[in-house]
Each structure stands twice: as C-alpha cells, then as structure tokens.
C-alpha cells in the first residue's frame, strides 16, 4: 500500500475503489406507482444501488433471492422509498421531503 501512496497516479483506480469500499454502502429502493417528486429525490441520491420498481417487480426480485427487496412494497397505494445503509433500512417514507431528510442525514 505504501507504494500506491507514493505513486498515486499509477494506482489511482485502485485507490478510488479502496476509498469507496471504506464508506458505508447505501441502497435506495423505491416501490409502487410512480410519484414524480419522490423519484426526483431518489434519482439525485448518492446511492450505490438505486432501484425504482413496481410492487410486482419488487416481489419477483425477492422471490428470486435478492434480499434487498424482501418486504418492500408500496404503502397505502403510494410509492414508498426504503433508504438503507449497510443493508440496514430506515423506516419507509412516502413523501419526497422525508426522503430528502433521510438522505441528507446520511454520512
């Protein structure tokens, strides 16, 4: 590693990947009927994984073994966002402002 620090231009890509691996992984799953405001906030999030899907798609991904989609569904007929860090999720939100607050609070 010392060699990489001494010659950062030669090891730039490896150093970038190493730096990204040090920060907590962020996942955002949005499920349900489209809500332009919620989706706009979701698309602007600094997330490692962003998925915007219908309820049926979320269910199919969960059945296929993608644990991030387990229990993910729209709430009250509204598009619902699930903001997660290191696969631990905050309570789901249905308002764009609430999602903005969750994202802004993440380190």
Confidence at residue 73, expressed as pLDDT on a 0 to 100 scale: 97
Assign 1 a pLDDT band (cuts: 50, 70, 90): low
Q: Is the pLDDT of residue 56 over 80?
A: yes
Paired with 93 in beta bridges are 81
- How many structural domains compose the chain? 1
Of residues 20 and 103, the one with the higher pLDDT is 103
Q: Provide CB contacts within 8 A for 89, sequence distance 6+.
A: 27, 82, 83
53 — phi, psi (to 5°)?
A: -135, 160
Can you tell me the distance from the alpha carbon of 30 to that of 32, in angstroms, rounded to the nearest whole number? 7
In a domain, 3, yes or no: no
Residue 89, domain extent: 24-105
Indicate the pTM of the whole model: 0.78
pLDDT at residue number 21: 67
The average pLDDT across 79-86 equals 94
- Mean pLDDT confidence for 20-41: 89
Flag whether 29 is in a domain. yes
pLDDT at residue 7, rounded to an integer: 74
Binned at pLDDT 50, 70 and 90, residue 104 comes out as very high
33 within some domain:
yes
**Is 16 part of a structural domain of the chain?**
no
Token readout for 97 is 């402002």
Pairing relationship of beta strands 26-31 and 49-53 according to DSSP bridges: parallel
Q: Which of 5-9, 39-43, 65-69, 81-85 has the lowest mean pLDDT?
A: 5-9
> What CATH number did the domain enclosing 75 receive?
3.40.30
What distances in angstroms separate CA 48 from CA 4, 7, 28, 45, 65, one per listed residue?
25, 28, 8, 9, 19
């Amino acid at each position: 590693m010392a060699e990489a620090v001494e010659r950062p231009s030669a090891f730039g890509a490896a150093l970038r990947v190493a730096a990204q691996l040090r920060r907590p992984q962020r996942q955002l799953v949005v499920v349900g009927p489209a809500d332009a405001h919620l989706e706009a906030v979701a698309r602007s999030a600094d997330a490692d994984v962003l998925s915007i899907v219908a309820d049926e798609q979320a269910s199919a991904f969960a059945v296929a073994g993608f644990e991030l989609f387990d229990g993910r569904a729209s709430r009250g007929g509204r598009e619902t966002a699930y903001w997660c860090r290191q696969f631990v999720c905050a309570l789901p939100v249905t308002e764009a402002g609430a999602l903005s607050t969750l994202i802004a609070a993440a380190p």
